[in-house]
Homo-oligomer: A and B are copies of this chain.
Amino acid sequence: MDLAHRIETALETAMGRAAADPAPPKLKKALYHAVFPGGARVRPSLCLAVAGACGDDAPALSDAAAAAIELIHCASLVHDDLPCFDDADIRRGQPTVHRLYGEPLAVLVGDGLIVAAFETLAAAAGVKPLRLPELVAIVGRAVGSPYGLVAGQAWESERVADLSAYQQAKTGSLFVAATMAGAVAAGADPGPWRAMGEKLGEAYQVADDIRDAAADPAEIGKPVGCDALHDRPNAVARLGLAGALARLTGLLGEAADAVPPCRGEAMLRGLVMAQGQRLVPKGMVAAE
């Protein structure tokens, strides 16, 4: 089964459980709206790719880890779009959850997806239960405080932000979780996989800054120019567009170099470089 199919199937299983009876009808619809159709599913693809490179000896657990990470990502989008944060109308080309279903359900969908992520891990732990403590710890660290998405978003409520902690928590954390959880799900030591996740997270942040500054909103399915509007720190403001493109290429190379010795090492290096090109908006070419 290809990775994309495994991811969608795992997400369908998780959402089938969360949106089963007796869940309230609007909550069911809002949960599905938050997860399907997805974006590029970058993080769960990375998670499964790493699990595959490590042997993928418990595919159901790898699938659960990938789904958990995507559910956390979807939860963060729903909460970040709320009126008290970005007040966004559009996400992935569709109305945001709170625009369609109201603010109460958007808060609850975010909460419910976070919970569903941990339930998904626990439900798949049957075959290799001793891997669960570390998987829960890795996913928890990526979403909670002090290192995860919650902490990253909370830096936006501070007058002066710790820029490195902010960016690592806001974007880097889920990429690190993706590589490390992929390794743990396949029975490998997660430590050596941290650096690859960090570099990819940073690359993705730079790519996001480039898209926000220069992409066509119709292509990426959400408004652009938000960083400049909110005066948020970003790589384009700091390095210029060409500088940011060069930085992106550099980071992708560093991510490929950071792949630890493993069965699928060459495959994974190639994947990083190929996927990296997809991060650049159409019509642009990352500097060589």
Binding site for B on A (CB under 8 A): 18-27, 31, 75, 79, 82, 84-85, 101-105, 107-108, 110-112, 114-116, 118-119, 121-123, 125-126, 129-130, 132-134, 136-137, 140-141, 143-148, 150-151, 153-158, 161-162, 165, 169
Contacts and interface: CB of A to CB of B under 8 A. Distances in A.
Interface SS of A by simple majority: helix
Contact of A111 (B103, B121, B150): B150
Contacts of A111: 75, 79, 110-111, 114, 143-144, 150
Number of copies of this protein chain within its complex: 2
B85 A104 contact: yes
Contacts of A114: 111, 114-115
B133 A115 contact: no
Given A107-B84, A132-B136, A23 B115 contact: no
12 contacts: A23-B154, A27-B150, A31-B145, A75-B111, A82-B107, A85-B104, A85-B107, A107-B107, A112-B151, A115-B150, A118-B136, A132-B133
A196 B196 CA distance: 49
Nearest to A132: B132
B119 A24 contact: no
Contacts of A158: 24-26
A74 to B, nearest CB: 13
B118 A162 contact: no
A104 B140 contact: no
Contact of A102 (B118, B141, B157): B157
Contact of A157 (B27, B110, B112, B146): B27
Given A19-B146, A24-B154, A146-B23, A126 B116 contact: no
Contacts of A31: 145
Given A79-B108, A101-B157, A108-B154, 12 more contacts: A22-B162, A27-B154, A79-B111, A102-B157, A111-B144, A112-B151, A114-B114, A119-B140, A122-B136, A125-B132, A129-B133, A130-B130
B79 A107 contact: yes
Contacts of A102: 84, 157
Q: Which 10 A-B pairs have the closest CB atoms?
A: A115-B144, A23-B146, A122-B136, A119-B140, A27-B154, A84-B103, A22-B165, A112-B150, A125-B133, A24-B154
